Amino acid sequence: MSKKKTLLIVLSVLVLTVIFAGNSFAAKKFFAIATGGTGGTYYPLGGILAQALTEKVPDVVVTAQAAQASVANCNLIRDHQIESAFVQSNVAYNAYAGVDAFKDKPAKNIRGIASLYPETIQIVARADSGIKSMKDIKGKRLVPGDRGSGTEVDTLNVLSVYKLTYKDFAGVDWLSFSGASQRLQDKQADVTFTTAGWPTAAIQELSISANVALVPIDEAKIKELTKKFPFYSRIVIPKGTYKGQAKDVPTITTMAQWVVDANVPDDVVYQLTKALWEGGSDKMARAHAKGKDVQMKTALSGMAIPLHPGAEKYYKEKGVIKAPAKKAAKKR
């Protein structure tokens, strides 16, 4: 066989390989998860889940994208700018119902896939700020989270039961978890709120570089908060969670949820829900402390928005959602 003919055959094989590879790539669906800032819990868990889903669902490539967390993520879903997101259950409800930050533009297309793990409201103060309890934060420099974030929603809810507003502080600056930690470290802020699964990377790093303390919420105020906002429940951050934390710290928690645009096809959401609970959650448990809390028995905890039909189908197959009992036929 001549060299010219051999070269032609090789080139033909290469062209066909590229064509087949291109067709295979083009056939894949791309699906994104909006998470949170790199210093929180959404970002690492979202990355782990995206990798697991991509491995388990052959025709879907899943990516996790850093974002501004709950409120901003609900807006992305509402505007069809992303397929899915991690959000707090209270914010998801507000978005669907069109209340608070969503009063003028509700996200009626938001649907649930799963509740993942409890997100804890962690109030962190510099040890030298004089803040020992929530009663001491008035007149201090506050970082309530990113503007419009789920953390800010929680901050305002907690402040409301203490009859406090932003006007009661010496200064208010809206920053991400990492930005807030840097401000406390640099002595440019006194106290910040962080809503995330513990241990939270930003707080861990801060507790190593600066003397900080977790501020408890008074038991009477916890009762008031859980009564006023039923999506909250009491939780305790155990001593030793962060460097220098010598005592258990009572506070409140809500659920982190994975939500999706109603426009995503049922079969895609079914496959992703199946992949979450048949391999994905195990990977999350091995890779992150909060991943251990991602369990099917709490998949619908705090789910105050409609489920996506694809997720609902999976839960019915697994008996998580019980089929309504059939009424007995009337005798004639």
Check whether 234 has a pLDDT greater than 70: yes
Q: Is residue 298 part of a domain?
A: yes
Q: Per-residue pLDDT averaged across 249-253, rounded?
A: 94
| pLDDT given at position 324 | 64
Evaluate whether residue 323 is within a structural domain: no
* 113 and 272 Cβ atoms separated by less than 8 Å: yes
Q: What is the pLDDT of residues 320-329, one digit of tens each?
A: 998 664 544 4
Question: Are residue 287 and residue 299 in the same domain, yes or no?
Answer: yes
Please tell me the predicted confidence (pLDDT) of residue 323: 67
Specify whether 198 is located in the same domain as 245: yes
Given a cut of 50, whether residue 38 has pLDDT beyond it is yes
What pLDDT shows up at residue 61? Answer: 96
pLDDT digits (tens, 9 = 90+) for 140-176: 999 999 887 889 989 999 999 999 999 999 999 999 8
**What domain range includes position 33?**
3-118+255-317
The dihedrals phi and psi of 191, each to the nearest 5 degrees, come to: -150, 145
Residue 57 lies in a domain: yes
248 and 139 fall within a common domain: yes
Nearest to 68 by CA among 43, 93, 95, 97: 43
Q: Does residue 51 sit in the same domain as residue 158?
A: no
> What pLDDT does 107 receive?
97
Question: Over the stretch 109-148, which tens digit does the pLDDT of each residue have?
Answer: 999 999 999 889 999 999 999 999 999 999 999 999 988 7
Quote the mean pLDDT of the chain.
87
The answer as to whether 186 is a domain residue is yes
CATH of the domain at 32: 3.40.190.10
Q: Give the tens place of pLDDT for each residue, 59-103.
A: 999 999 998 878 899 999 999 999 999 998 989 999 999 988 899
Tell whether 56 and 103 lie within a shared domain.
yes
The pTM for the full model equals 0.73
Q: CA distances (Å), 14 to each of 6, 7, 69, 197, in order?
A: 13, 11, 45, 49
> Whose structure tokens read 């032609």?
8
Euclidean distance between CA atoms 228 and 161, whole angstroms: 9
Instruction: Dump the DSSP string for 102-143.
Output: GSSS--TTEEEEEEEEEEEEEEEEEGGGT-SSGGG-TTSEEE
For 270-321, what is each residue's pLDDT tens digit?
999 999 999 999 999 998 888 899 999 989 988 889 999 999 999 999 999 9
- Does residue 83 sit within a domain? yes
- Judge if 70 and 150 occupy the same domain: no
pLDDT digit string (tens) for 181-210?
999 999 999 999 999 888 888 899 999 999
Is 329 among the domain residues? no
Residues 138 and 188 occupy one common structural domain: yes
Strand partners, 143: 192
| Domain edge (last residue) among 253, 274, 294 | 253
Alpha-helix residue ranges (DSSP H) falling in 128-176: 150-161
In the block, residue with structure tokens 């710290």: 249
